[in-house]
Amino acid sequence: MAEDWQAGGFGLYVHWPFCQAKCPYCDFNSHVAQVIDHAGWRDAYLQEIASYAELVPDRVLGSIFFGGGTPSLMAPKTVAAVIDAARGAWPVANDLEITLEANPTSVEAGRFAAYAQAGVNRVSLGVQALNDDDLRRLGRLHSAADAMHAFDIARNFFDRTSFDLIYARQDQSLDAWRDELRRAVGLAVDHLSLYQLTIEGGTAFGERYAAGRLRGLPEEDLAADMYEATQEICGAAGLDAYEVSNHAKPGAESRHNTLYWRYGDYVGIGPGAHGRLTIGGQRYATEAWRAPGKWMEAVANGSGESLRSPLNGAEQATEHLLMGLRLREGIDMARHAALAGAPLDADRVRHLEEIGMTEVAGGRLRVTGAGRPVLNAVLRELLA
């Protein structure tokens, strides 16, 4: 009998925790370090892969994702060793997707050539803005020219290239965002990740905001207009929103991130990495120690995990709903009912359909274009 995770697939996430500098808006587990023991990190990753391969052998690996931090600071030999180890640990899909996140400041043609030779076939560039003033405000170390140079290099070496932009930035107008986004889609890119700037606690921006010193953030109505402009411009360019913040031409969707949204299983290794693994019929949430030194010490003692917690059916159903409704395709309602032990409340589903927030077709529940901007409210209604 098929286990639930097989509906989403199986992948490997590798967290590289180091950056050249900490961006003021970033709440990811990233650290600035002057000296990095690349051989030690390589050995730790390989040990973790071997351990997880013993737990969940014989699965077909569909994707590998190097995230961070700034994975383009990794030694290419480390990336190659991780990919080789993963290929040796599990059978791999014929169309295995291997993504590496990169910052324009750490892009060199020779380094990218080495990553491609190692097996990386998709790069995601952290561009964030296409003008220098906003890049400085965001704490980025690259210029707009650096970003375009990096994009050109990436297209020479990789089958697929994506980049990120942040909108609803300080003092950004709707017209400025429209112009910037049109420039982006005109670069013949096949995938864009477009995120509204959010102020997170524990970040430099969060501290400034709490102190009343982060000025120029857009009002809610302007941010909503920017979201609508994003859908309009990307849609006209053939980059439909297959997920709330991700736009792609048909066939260029991120397979690894889609695995998360389809609620598959994935191994997470590296400091602070999360995972979802079904072992002996039971799905677990895993989490690795966040501090790089603590993680390395723990791996040396047998495992980098700080947590492996069993998830009951209700918890899995909630995660399936939270992740799956981010996708344009929505969720399989029968799968959700099997996880939860009961179907979604029919009256709540009907109410959301009647007010145009969701629709049901072919046994799938999806959020409509009108419902996407208020997805959190839709989820609260379904989970109430």
Compute how many other C-beta atoms are within 10 angstroms of the C-beta atom of residue 263: 25
pLDDT at 173 over 80: yes
Q: What domains sit in the chain, N to C, each tagged with a CATH number?
A: 4-260 (3.20.20.70), 313-384 (1.10.10.920)
Task: Report the candidate in 265, 381, 248, 272 with the shortest Cα–Cα distance to residue 320.
Answer: 265
Which residues, including other chains, have CB under 8 Å from residue 321's CB and lie 6 or more apart?
331, 336, 379, 382, 383
Q: What is the largest CA-CA distance in the chain?
A: 59
pLDDT at 141 over 70: yes
pLDDT at 25 over 70: no
pTM of the complete model: 0.95
Q: What are phi and psi of 124, to 5 degrees?
A: -115, 115
Residue-wise pLDDT tens digits, 331-347: 999 999 999 999 999 99
Q: What does the DSSP 8-state code read for residue 105?
A: G
Please tell me the distance from the alpha carbon of residue 144 to that of residue 150, in angstroms, as a whole number: 10
What is the CA angle 290-294-296, rounded to 5?
A: 105
Q: Which two tokens stand for residue 209?
A: 């905001």
Mean pLDDT across the chain, nearest whole number? 93
Given a contact cutoff of 8 angstroms between Cβ atoms, the answer to whether 65 and 258 are in contact is no
Residue-wise pLDDT tens digits, 86-140: 999 999 999 999 999 998 886 776 889 999 999 999 999 999 999 999 999 988 8
In this structure, the dihedral spanned by the alpha carbons of residues 316, 320, 321 and 324, taken in order and rounded to 10 degrees, is: 170
Given a contact cutoff of 8 angstroms between Cβ atoms, the answer to whether 156 and 217 are in contact is no
What number of residues does the chain have? 384
The pLDDT of 245-271, averaged and rounded, is 97
Residue-wise pLDDT tens digits, 303-325: 999 999 999 999 999 999 999 99
Please tell me the distance from the alpha carbon of residue 189 to that of residue 308, in angstroms, as a whole number: 39
Residue 18's beta-bridge partner residues?
A: 31
Band of pLDDT at residue 207, cut at 50, 70 and 90: confident
